[in-house]
Amino acid sequence: MYPVKTVQQTALAKKLGGVPVFHDGILKKIVIDEEAAILHIKILVDNNPRLKQNTVVQLKLNDVKAFDFKSETIDGGLFVIHDLDIRKEHEHLHLRMESIDGTVNFVQFTSIELTG
């Protein structure tokens, strides 16, 4: 797992008063270029009572080494996130994101920024 202490120090976590919950959020958009992948995720207020409204956050995954994404057909996004997990394996970080239909997507990268 990615260290919670690191996530707690992000601007978004400070704004929310704690680590955001991504369970059952919506992946709205992905932008990938030669430097990073930016995932726009809508955190739903139903699953994160610290929010006053649904909130779009950005996960910026720097120095992407590999990725694999498949989308579903949903209104207003690419897919509904059932589970999002970030782990450190050897010298890289691995983001694993599972949709509600069981599709698993991943990104391998070196560092992360979380903003809202």
Digit-by-digit pLDDT tens for the chain (116 residues) are 445 566 666 666 666 666 655 656 888 889 998 889 999 988 888 877 777 888 888 889 999 999 998 877 777 788 888 888 888 888 888 888 888 888 899 999 998 887 77
pTM above 0.85, yes or no: no
Q: What angle do CA 25, 22, 60 make, to 5 degrees?
A: 100
How many residues make up the chain in this entry? 116
Q: Which residues have a Cβ under 8 Å from the Cβ of 27 and sit 6 or more positions away?
A: 39, 40, 41, 77, 78, 79, 80, 81, 97
At residue 64, the pLDDT reads: 93
